[in-house]
Structure 1
């Protein structure tokens, strides 16, 4: 299978993976042959990419940090709990089941990630790149857990970190949706209202008996930055807890690679490049370096163009050098089909480099 920009879909192409709505329900199922109406519907959803079956890449498997079953279960649990809070008119006593619900969920997530520890990389889900609070919360949790395991945290530390990551944006359940989804510029007062989600999240979590206080501080501090330019308290350097620093990095990344009403989604390599401009000023340099070393900036299935002119599809990610993937070469430097296609391992072919994304390469499908 391969990732194709929605703008380049054509009738007759066959979906290679399910497409879900924000409630976790299947909108279009794997194996469906796309019609013009379906394509218009996908374009109306503003999705960036979808996975399509392709005879030249049919054996390529998209790796997962956790199973689709666990992912959907987690999103529905987050959605149910967050919506319950949204319906409450007060904070105290409205979320007493929070710790038990998410404590069990964290155990399942940790077990699944740990079982794939040897091949553990941050895998950006390119075919669901529209922003959704529930999916964003899960993504930040999954990515942060990978970083925490790589950093060497204990299981107990990982659970505190994971809960903080999963619930870092819980305060947004009390933010007016019209502010979160406004396409235009916000006034200072409106932006301050959005910033309050950090303090609200802390208030929700700090007195919950099954939520560690440190997890609550993750909700409070995840927008703080090393140089003091963050919020809500303008903390600097070591005054920011390390867990909040990790979550701040991952939260920024997932926001960048997600489409919002006011901005398009970035590709993973673009987001990492932007984040590195804040190394040592906004983000802790060693933490950001570990993040860079674990993120697959060129996802499996993506069509890429080499600096020598060949194009191909990313077929495999190396867990220890995810920025140097294996590419299945499909066309030569003159744009002519390669018969048969061959695998080029960029971790071994060090003179070859990815120069860009080959979004227009759909002729072989």
Structure 2
């Protein structure tokens, strides 16, 4: 029997009978989900008051569960879920947004404060590497600039750790990456909030943000000099096509390249007001092929291992919505394996079907 039930009265084993939304484009929980204690906590976190459900467990089963362990005790034993991590992420984005408006009003970044609200989130993401591939799903196109800065800090930290940097370097780089776009606060809001592509003049104005960012952090003793250089250079490219100075090859620091790859990856995989997001797998492929010569391949390979590492048997979703399983990995094209489709058992080779790509890994 389907009933509308208060979230506070839910029990593990109850079946959802409708999709649940929370001011989101897509449901935070799908119809026919069998609720666990973790799901119930998610509904509480998102402030969901009532849901349509079908009772699936008996009163006796619930009493037995309650007698052995409280809900809070069970919750404490669960690993951090995507939803709990997302809550922490959203709180960090809100804190960053507040600071951004202080910078716009003329204040310089309070690096101690920025460290305090960003590092706990960054360290949680670095510990749970599988969550990194979900960052583009967390982003909100209406407040992209704040989401982008937090996400680039997370990705830069994870890439640097993957490359073998010590924790001190990783955390310094994470803060530098988070603050790399602080100079955007000096760009006209009418340009930042524009919902169409920028004109040449507007883009020239935006390109000044790296200089503004450096100026805003230059006097702080809490960032090492090489991190300040990384902030200045995070839009430089190895072939000299970047800005603000057109530095190339050895003149471009590896720390700036890490921020650059994180920046481009998150920008291209996130939905924007003027264009849809791209598949993480497709973006890595584009960085390696279409942008060849611009980025250090060691950095790109580290990112690929974090968000695009595949193995035989991995279940995936393709960009056309089809589900399938990785059957064979090409040595020279690991992002384009052979996939066995779940729908009909047919096998498709992504190296010959270039219009398709892997959209995401299905856990």
- TM-score (normalizing by structure 1): 0.66
Which residue is equivalent to 1:125?
136
- 2:302, 2:117 → 1: CA distance? 26
- 1:268, 1:54 → 2: CA distance? 27
Correspondence for 2:162 among 130, 143, 150 = 150
CA contact (8 A) 1:168 1:201 kept: yes
How far the C-alpha of 1:99 sits from its partner, in A, is 1.4
> CA distance change for structure 1 residues 267 and 213 in 2, over 3 Å: closer, same or farther?
same
Deviation digits for residues 239-260 of structure 1 (CA, Å, limit 9, x no counterpart): 1111110110110111112222
How far the C-alpha of 1:353 sits from its partner, in A, is 5.2
> CA distance change for structure 1 residues 15 and 297 in 2, over 3 Å: closer, same or farther?
farther
Question: What are the residue-to-residue correspondences of 1:1-16 with 2, within 5 Å?
Answer: 13-15=18-20
Which residue is equivalent to 2:105?
87
CA contact (8 A) 2:282 2:357 kept: no
Structure 1 unaligned segments of length 5 or more: list them.
Answer: 1-11, 19-26, 29-41, 43-48, 89-93, 315-321, 335-350, 360-365
CA contact (8 A) 1:140 1:247 kept: yes
Secondary structure of the 2:135 match is coil
CA contact (8 A) 1:224 1:230 kept: yes
CA contact (8 A) 2:86 2:138 kept: no
Deviation digits for residues 260-307 of structure 1 (CA, Å, limit 9, x no counterpart): 233222222222222122454111122112212221489x9974389x
Correspondence for 1:72 among 90, 95, 104 = 90
How far the C-alpha of 1:190 sits from its partner, in A, is 2.2
Question: What are the residue-to-residue correspondences of 1:174-185 with 2, within 5 Å?
Answer: 174-184=186-196
Is 1:261–2:276 an aligned residue pair?
Answer: no
RMSD over aligned Cα atoms: 4.0
CA contact (8 A) 1:223 1:232 kept: yes
- 1:120, 1:260 → 2: CA distance? 21
CA contact (8 A) 2:139 2:271 kept: no
Structure 2 unaligned segments of length 5 or more: list them.
Answer: 1-16, 40-79, 326-333
- 1:331, 1:197 → 2: CA distance? 49
- 1:101, 1:237 → 2: CA distance? 35
CA contact (8 A) 1:65 1:113 kept: no
Secondary structure of the 1:162 match is helix
Question: What are the residue-to-residue correspondences of 1:1-365 with 2, within 5 Å?
Answer: 13-15=18-20, 18=22, 27=23, 42=25, 50-55=27-32, 64=82, 67-88=85-106, 94-95=107-108, 98-116=110-128, 121-126=132-137, 128=139, 130=141, 132-184=144-196, 186-278=198-290, 280-296=292-308, 303-304=317-318, 311-312=322-323, 331-333=343-345, 356=356
Secondary structure of the 2:323 match is strand
